[in-house]
Chains A and B, each alone.
Chain A
Amino acid sequence: MDIKPEEMIKISNAMPKKSWMETPPDLSDGKFCYPAKAKTLEYLGLPNPRDWSPADEDWKLPENWQQIIHEGFKERLDKYRSLKVFMDVCVRCGACADKCHFYLGSGDPKNMPFLRAELLRSIYRNDFTLAGKLLGKFAGARKMTTTVIKEWFSYLYQCTECRRCSVFCPYGIDTAEITMMGRELLNLIGLNINWIKDPVANCSKTGNHLGIQPQNFKEIVEFFCEDIEEITGVKINPSFNRKGAEVLFVTPSGDAFADPGTYTFMGYLMLFEHIGLDYTLSTYASEGGNFGLFTSSDMMKKLNAKMYHEAERLGVKYIIGGECGHMWRVVNQYMDTMNGPANFLEVPKSPITGTVFENAASTKMIHIAEFTADLIKHNKLKLDPSRNDHLKVTWHDSCNPARAMGILEEPRYVLKSVCNNFHEMPANTIREETFCCGSGAGLNTEEIMEQRLRGGLPRANAVKYVHDKYGVNMLACMCAIDRAALPPLMDYWVPGVEVIGLHELVANALVMDGEIERTTNLRFEDLPGAEGDSDE
């Protein structure tokens, strides 16, 4: 009858006294992403389509699934030096352990990057190394069982492939690479998640993850133009699928669809109109993002192929890419290799400033932040940063642009040019050490909201610091997933901080030719001073 407090808390204390190999994953309801439906897999021609749930005891795996995994593993070891080296060289020094946002937010040891990798490594040792075969558990090897495959599923979908651990690893071991390979293997036996597979299916069909049809894509953009005209008095004239344009502009479809990304899209339109860029949007290549990256290299290639294909068809000179995180991982590190060479394009040259972007000489695709930074540097934009004076802004470096590209200064330069109040978060939470939003790599789905909020805690914690210290009320970023994932994160951990895309800030500050006096920003919120109250 008298329960001591200690006894009440004991339940959670019991967890891993056992070795991690003997600790099964928790796959009760709410602890996993919904699996992909049979129909989706059939549509995409992927193996083992069936209806199942990770909460089930029986996952309806193919009879020879162990063999499929073994052979798939072998094939990838032969195809990727990265995998082979990363399987062999880890010394378990632990430098990466406390670098993972999921570990920091949960305390779950299997979220330490090197232990996440050990989940695969233990099988690798058992299947492919002599020591593992001879010494078994003492060499850190174990046999593939259903528990192990469930563990893979659980923890490979608790990694956002953000690469933060890789920055601190003395051998550059990249957990993203390991997670990607692991997910490819899971795909071979039909273990995939719906949040990734549906966008992939949509994208191959309609050209974008969200399944927006061509006429609707046009409609949405026209809505934006109406709003812009109402706010600025300037008429915007975008074009679609137009042959002979100089530039093809590609941005993640999330920008067309969900707030606050939509305002960023409006920002692009205003900027291009203002400088008179000869560009076109495509309804076919209407997706910059690529959920194939979270599936397999083949799927990534297939989805990405549309960009060059469309650029060639339209006969543009080069491509500008919008604000997106993983899209830029693909564009910067994979696109040219997979679908190049794009000899039908020209080295990007800004028609306004004449700057030639030699850094994109082969891929022929530049980031809009590079493009805009160059415009501002050459004084080609008339900007009134005081329109953003009511905002105290901090900058969230998105994982992929930071650690798979290194685009750090361009957005900061743009940001500082368009707003007067800018405060950096602590140094070990930005730039190459930036913390993930917690929802990347296909994990931006609501059924695992707790996991996302946990994973985003380190990011939120740093935002809270600048919020408390400088009164920061706006978190700027250039990634569509961030724009979707950070608002709930802020809502939960740091209420009072909103999320904004870089080019929304640009557009708010941009003084366009022939514009009327603006009384609201792009969100139809009154501008400070517009109602007679001065902003101090």
Chain B
Amino acid sequence: MNVNIVLSLVAVVVLGALAFLGGSAPVLQGVFGIMIPYIAFVMFLGGFIWRIMKWAKSPVPFRIPTTCGQQKSLPWIKHAKLENPSSGLGVMGRMALEIFTFRSLFRNTKAEIKGDRISYEWEIWLWLGSLAFHYSFLAVLVRHMRFFLEPVPAAIKFLEAADGFFQIGLPIVMLSGVILFAAAGFLFARRVATPRLRYTSLAADYFPLFLIMAIALSGMFMRYFLRVDIVAVKELTMGLATLSPTIPANIDPFLFVHLFLVCVLFVYFPFSKLMHAGGIFLSPTRNMANNNRAKRHINPWNPDLTFVTYEKYENTFREKMIEAGLPVEKES
């Protein structure tokens, strides 16, 4: 068994167990229910901003978009406005496609010769898996805002209704949570099943997947099996949100497992590869227009360098140039 997988799994299990023990001891409930969540939130926000600032501090000396379509040139040639944007608007379109639909991953087409002709099919699973993972994560996150808002906004109620549309089970199963767990599981399975990924994956690739799976699992466990007292949970979370934290008397200690793992994720996020969420906005190959020749880009540290000028060149070759009948600046 791969040591990176084992290590990551052990880390998540230990963290969960720690939270359960802490949450079961009334004296520590304050630590796990109030202190750590506040620290985690501050670290997440601070870390995220720090990381973005750190990136933004380095300049972008050159305009180096990767062009994935026809450039804007002659008016009668159809310009690929989104794949090879030439304006800010085009770049926004390209970024939107990239962020909301994972455009580049979607590009993974495969050609196969069937009989006499080639057919194309999408290598769709990575794209679909990632999309499912990120959107269900978003849905889960938004749904959880109900714990921090009173009254609960209509939009969240609507999302919940949509999420539980199929009305399976009681309490109604929220699809987003299930999908999140399944998609994370898929991404993990893919890593293990593909030799070249297994060969190159780091603990830093497995750990967040396990963590997120554990969060989803603990959440679903509480909702569908423990059926924890929602009112008590909301009391706790509203206390946190309104900066008047309390620990409700009848809170289930298992909640602290869920909450603590979320806190770990929050703290871990800004210092890990999960920051791709922020990094994608700063990627120079995607967020710049391919209008280099139309509009000059400035390099703040453009160095002043000496090069071989024409004068030096002519000095070297003058006689030969004259002999060959090439025009020169100075005759001798």
Contact = CB atoms under 8 A, between A and B. Distances in A.
Interface of A: 16, 19-20, 77-86, 88-95, 97, 109, 112, 114-115, 118, 130-131, 135, 138-140, 163, 166-174, 177, 204-207, 213-215, 218-219, 240-243, 283-284, 297-298, 301-303, 305-306, 309-310, 313, 331-334, 336-338, 340-341, 355, 357-363, 365, 370, 373-374, 377, 402-410, 413, 426-428, 431-433
Contact of A109 (B67, B199, B308): B199
Contacts of B310: 284, 306, 309-310, 313
A377 B327 contact: no
B302 interface: yes
Contacts of A97: 196-197
Contacts of B301: 79
Contacts of B294: 358-363
B298 A241 contact: no
A213 B320 contact: yes
6 contacts: A94-B196, A204-B307, A215-B317, A215-B326, A305-B305, A413-B77
A20 B199 contact: yes
B107 A82 contact: no
Interface residues on B, range: 35 or more
A166 B298 CA distance: 24
Contacts of B282: 81, 85
A171 B196 contact: no
B118 A426 contact: yes
Given A88-B279, A89-B276, A337-B297, A81 B78 contact: no
Given A177-B285, A361-B293, 7 more contacts: A170-B280, A284-B313, A298-B303, A302-B306, A332-B292, A361-B295, A406-B69
Contacts of B73: 357, 359, 370, 407, 410
Contacts, number: 297
A91 B205 contact: yes
Given A81-B59, A374-B74, A410-B74, A426 B286 contact: no
B307 A166 contact: no
B324 to A, nearest CB: 4
Contacts of A84: 54-55, 58
Contacts of B67: 402-406, 432
Interface in B179-203: 194, 196-197, 199-203
A171 B200 contact: no
B131 to A, nearest CB: 11
Interface stretch (B98-106, B156-164, B167-175): B98-106
B297 A109 contact: no
A336 B292 contact: yes
Given A241-B326, A306-B307, A427-B120, A177 B107 contact: no
Contacts of A405: 67, 71, 290
Contacts of A306: 307-308, 310
Interface of B: 4, 7, 51, 54-74, 76-78, 80, 83-84, 86, 98, 102, 104-105, 107-111, 118, 120, 126, 130, 194, 196-197, 199-205, 271-273, 275-276, 279-280, 282-286, 290-299, 301-303, 305-310, 313-314, 316-317, 320-321, 323-327
A403 B66 contact: yes
A166 B285 contact: yes
Question: At the interface, is chain A mostly helix, strand, loop or mixed?
Answer: helix
Contacts of A207: 308, 313
A134 B63 CA distance: 36
B296 to A, nearest CB: 5
Nearest to A107: B196
Contact of B66 (A77, A163, A427): A163
Contacts of A115: 200
Given A131-B271, A207-B313, A407-B73, A89 B307 contact: no
A357 B293 CA distance: 10
A88 B64 contact: no
A103 to B, nearest CB: 9
A174 B295 CA distance: 23
A426 B292 CA distance: 30
A94 B198 CA distance: 10
B74 A355 contact: yes
B296 A337 contact: yes
B74 A95 contact: no
A371 to B, nearest CB: 10
B303 A114 contact: no
Contacts of B292: 332-333, 336-337, 363
